[in-house]
């Protein structure tokens, strides 16, 4: 079972990963976006980490709702509403339970990803964060590490795609050859989830009874 501390660890690990990779995210955003994805997310997740240290919500859902609220209020552009929606909807789906199962988290994340897709009007193949998030939540039925690998593969798979949503869509075929920054940061989020699970009780989480987490 996953408690509030697990979710705080997930958000803290995400903040550290975004801080570490902020320059790369901005470099990816430069040719097809506003060249601010890394700096915007760094500011947002830094605020998330600070808020969680100050408030320490008591339930998994409350941790994610607080994180989503911070991102919406501190991150400019589309990233704040999209990531904020992802985390807030996931948190609301988890409700007020003090502990949730991995299966409950997977179900809640699916609802969160669906809310993001609806907000952005995006589907898989549009060269957005959905290209990383959808395969990740599908792989959660196997394990957290499998979800992280699926998200990373999904982000890399955006390179040959034509962007159909967001500012990158204005470039048409010129967006081909560039990895989507939103998909890349989404992969960081899922990698942080696997990292949080790997430090839970000092052992790697493999999705309970779902198997050993081997990639297909």
**Does residue 212 form part of some domain?**
no
Is residue 215 a part of any domain in this protein? no
Q: Whole-model pTM above 0.75?
A: yes
Contacts of 61 (CB under 8 A, 6+ apart): 91, 92, 93, 94, 95, 96, 97, 100
Tell me the CATH number at 94.
Answer: 1.25.40.340
Phi, psi for residue 73 in degrees, rounded to 5 = -85, -20
Q: List pLDDT tens digits, range 104-155.
A: 999 999 999 999 999 999 999 999 999 999 999 999 999 999 999 999 999 9
* 201 contact partners, CB below 8 Å, separation of at least 6: none
Structural domain including 32 reads 2-202
Query: Per-residue pLDDT for 211 more than 80?
Result: no
**pLDDT tens per residue across span 6-19:** 999 999 999 999 99
Tell whether 94 is covered by a domain. yes
216 domain-assigned: no
């Amino acid at each position: 079972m996953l408690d509030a501390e697990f979710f705080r660890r997930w958000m803290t690990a995400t903040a550290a990963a975004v801080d570490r990779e902020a320059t790369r995210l901005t470099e990816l955003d430069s040719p097809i976006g506003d060249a601010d994805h890394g700096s915007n997310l760094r500011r947002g997740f830094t605020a998330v980490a600070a808020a969680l240290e100050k408030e320490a919500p008591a339930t998994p859902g409350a941790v994610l709702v607080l994180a989503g609220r911070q991102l919406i209020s501190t991150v400019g552009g589309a990233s704040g509403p999209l990531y904020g929606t992802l985390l807030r909807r996931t948190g609301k789906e988890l409700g007020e339970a003090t502990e949730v199962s991995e299966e409950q988290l997977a179900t809640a994340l699916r609802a969160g990803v669906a809310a993001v897709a609806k907000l952005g009007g995006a589907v898989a193949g549009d060269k957005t964060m959905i290209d990383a998030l959808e395969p990740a939540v599908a792989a959660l039925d196997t394990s957290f590490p499998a979800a992280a690998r699926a998200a990373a593969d999904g982000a890399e798979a955006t390179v040959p795609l034509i962007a159909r949503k967001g500012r990158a869509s204005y470039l048409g075929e010129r967006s081909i050859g560039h990895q989507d920054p939103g998909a890349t940061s989404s992969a960081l989020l899922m990698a942080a989830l696997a990292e949080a699970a790997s430090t839970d009780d000092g052992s790697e989480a493999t999705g309970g009874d779902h198997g050993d987490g081997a990639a297909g």
